Amino acid sequence: MLGYNPKRKALVERAMKPVEKMLREMYDEGKDLTKIKLRKYQKTHFSSCTCGQCTRAKMKKDPHLRGILEDGFKVYMGEGASDD
């Protein structure tokens, strides 16, 4: 970690509020949260994108060269919802 930073901590706390709200709503709807799994993901450009970065990635045949659009997480529920 990069050390204590009040601004960074405030950003994390602000980002956690919608997550907590979503989990509370799921609980109130009667969902079984005991088998919940969160997975981090990074969304890249679409495979049909023709920007310079994606063209270079296609030429070098390396999809990791595509630009990252966003970080996020996915929620998996229930048995067999996510294979490790």
Span 31-42, pLDDT tens digits: 888 888 888 877
Handedness of CA 72, 77, 83, 84 (dihedral sign): positive
In this structure, are residues 72 and 43 in contact, taking their beta carbons and an 8 Å threshold?
Answer: yes
Looking at per-residue confidence, does 47 or 56 come out higher? 56
Kindly report the pTM of this predicted structure: 0.50
Residue 82: pLDDT above 70? no
